[in-house]
A = this chain, B = another copy of it.
Amino acid sequence: MTSTVTHEDMGTQVEEVLRQRFTAHSENAQAYGSEFASLWRSAATHALGGKLVRPRLLLDIHRALAPVPTIEQASAAIDVATHIELLHYAFLLHDDVIDGDLTRRRGPNLIGALAAESPGSTEEASLHWARSSAILMGDLLLSAAVMGFARADLSQPTRLRLLDLVEQTILETVAGEHTDVALSHGIVAPDLHTVLNMSVYKTATYSFSLPLRAGAMLAGASSSAEDALHLVGRHLGLAYQLQDDLLCVFGDHRVHGKDAFSDLREGKETAIIAYARSTPAWSRIERAFGSDDLTMQQATEIRDRLRECGAEAFVTGLIADQREAVQTLLSEAEASGEISADAAATIAAVATRLDGRRS
């Protein structure tokens, strides 16, 4: 059976499939007690609130490389895109447990919501209940994601190639998160090289390389095309993370909606900080950096010093470097015929969109 599917349908279908999955899980969970069913419902609320950046990236590249997909191709793309979103949410949950975060964007995250609703006898007990629940839900979604890739309706060679890609992706993401924790405890030195590698592994690999490579693979692209997209994804993802770092310190908090200056209060080792450490300004920044009770005035002072010492400009330059690297890679891949002009243009458009974001 061969037919075509519009791209708009596919984006909507990812959301619909996710919603159906969570509903089915919540209903099945009732057999194990109402608390467990309630955990599934809460997880659904939080998991479904995202912008689906990763599934949309996969579907964008898939459409560019296979403009007229068969029903089978479209359905496999939606399936894999859906499981990348589940993987993303599993990572987020464990990341929030590790970082002790209770909020995401403007509201409570799953842990914050569970702790607030919990009838725990103390705040500590409520937090333990909420974090334990998040560890367990993360385990369920992580295994559901891997199961989803394993069951995707693909030829055996493509499925094995996809599983290799997912395994490598999970390894790099976890390695990046592990380095991030090591940085936060001063267990590894916060030099620029380490911080940039950490960002690539923790964020770029699964958020950008994975959807691009999986989308290409499902569209029947060659493994050399996939290799090119791997590099493109790393640069795009690094640019995305560096922008996030800049927004948290220099952005307009009323627009991006994140906790103002949270990176400065948490003492997060970003590229901005790694650069500042190498300048004479650091001695005046480090006093208040990472202090739990950082005042708005202290934070604003640090921000101004980071700007004065050239850290903002340096990281802005790094982002431009990534953008340029993406362009070069796309031109080369297009010239060598590894990817189509349409695919190159699609990714260039994603890069432009990311570049202008304010949140």
Q: What copy number does this chain have within its complex?
A: 2
- Cα distance, A177 to B146, chains bound together (Å): 21
| Interface pick from A102-110, A118-126, A245-253, A291-299 | A118-126
Beta-carbon contact of A188 and B33 below 8 Å:
yes
Residues of B within 8 A of A314 (CB): none
Report Cα–Cα, A120/B182, bound state, in Å: 10
Supposing A172-B32, A185-B129 touch, asked if A163 and B140 sit within 8 A by C-beta, the answer is no
The answer to whether B172 touches A143 (Cβ under 8 A) is: no
Contact yes or no, A33 B175, CB < 8 A: yes
- Complex Cα–Cα for A186 and B118 (A): 11
A98 in contact with B139 given A160-B151, A175-B36, A188-B35 (CB within 8 Å): no
Interface string of A136-163 (1 = CB under 8 A from B): 1011101110110111000010001001
On whether the beta carbons of B163 and A143 are closer than 8 Å, the reply is no
CB-CB under 8 A from A94, the residues of chain B are: 135-136, 139
Interface size on A, residues (CB 8 A): 55
**Given A32-B201, A94-B136, A146-B146, is A120 in contact with B179 using a C-beta cutoff of 8 Å?**
no
A21 at the interface (CB under 8 A from B): no
- Write the A175-192 contact mask toward B (1 if CB under 8 angstroms, else 0): 111110110011110000
Q: Which residues of B contact A177 (CB under 8 A)?
A: 136
Looking at the complex, which one of B35, B129, B185 makes contact with A125 (CB distance below 8 Å)?
B185
A223 within 8 A of B: no
The answer to the question of A47 belonging to the interface, with a C-beta cut-off of 8 Å to chain B, is no
A and B contact pairs by CB, cutoff 8 A, 10 listed? A28-B171, A33-B178, A98-B132, A121-B186, A136-B177, A139-B142, A139-B170, A140-B171, A144-B167, A147-B163
A156 nearest CB neighbor, chain B only: B156
Contact A178 B35 (CB under 8 A): yes
Partner among B97, B143, B171, B182 whose Cβ is within 8 Å of the Cβ of A142 = B143
Q: Closest residue to A99 on the B side, CB-wise?
A: B132
A94, B136: Cα distance in complex, Å: 8
Q: Are B33 and A133 in contact (CB under 8 A)?
A: no
Q: A128 in the interface, Cβ–Cβ < 8 Å?
A: yes
1/0 per residue A189-227: CB within 8 Å of B? 000001000000100000000000000000000000000
CB distance from A188 to the nearest CB of B (A): 6
